[in-house]
């Protein structure tokens, strides 16, 4: 069964897509970019942008009674792979125990000209 999941604690989608879709025991999030609850792009470099995206993911998880321990896979898209170390420094503060599988790719451009986008696959019991 397919179910749309939303959280009022994170920015609303900026296009015709859902924040997340749940199918059976898996949740697939849409890509999250560094925007605040009002839809404004967060100022700063890759560290601030990464923190914003992961905080939004954390709020989504909490709103659905989940934690980062439920995340099984993360995809990270960077516009500059040279910022990998800075992104990873912030990322490691969120993924402290049994981190999920992860892929990272450099892309030529992201929506609203941000430097990072992250999506996740999450496992839930019910």
User: How many whole angstroms separate alpha carbon 56 and alpha carbon 85?
Assistant: 21
User: How many whole angstroms separate alpha carbon 29 and alpha carbon 76?
Assistant: 12
Residue-averaged pLDDT of the chain: 96
User: How many whole angstroms separate alpha carbon 70 and alpha carbon 125?
Assistant: 9
84: CATH: 3.30.1330.40
What length is written for the chain? Answer: 126
How many structural domains does the chain have?
A: 1
User: How many whole angstroms separate alpha carbon 67 and alpha carbon 108?
Assistant: 31
Answer whether residue 99 shows pLDDT above 90: yes
- Are 82 and 54 spatial neighbours (Cβ–Cβ below 8 Å)? no
Domain residue limits at 39: 2-123
pLDDT of residue 2: 95
pLDDT in tens, 17-73: 999 999 999 999 999 999 999 999 998 999 999 999 999 999 999 999 999 999 999
pLDDT of residue 1: 86
SS3 at position 97: coil
Average pLDDT over residues 70-82: 98
Answer whether residue 126 shows pLDDT above 80: no
User: How many whole angstroms separate alpha carbon 3 and alpha carbon 27?
Assistant: 9
């Amino acid at each position: 069964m397919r179910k749309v999941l939303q959280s009022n604690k994170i920015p609303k989608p900026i296009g015709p897509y859902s924040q997340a879709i749940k199918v059976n025991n898996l949740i697939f999030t849409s890509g999250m970019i560094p925007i605040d609850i009002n839809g404004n792009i967060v100022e700063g470099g890759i560290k601030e942008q990464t923190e914003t995206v992961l905080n939004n993911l954390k709020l989504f998880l909490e709103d659905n009674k989940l934690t980062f321990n439920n995340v099984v896979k993360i995809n990270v898209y960077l516009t500059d792979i040279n910022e990998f170390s800075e992104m990873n420094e912030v990322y490691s503060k969120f993924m402290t125990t049994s981190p999920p599988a992860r892929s990272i790719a450099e892309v030529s451009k992201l929506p609203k000209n941000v430097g990072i986008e992250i999506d996740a696959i999450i496992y839930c019991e019910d």
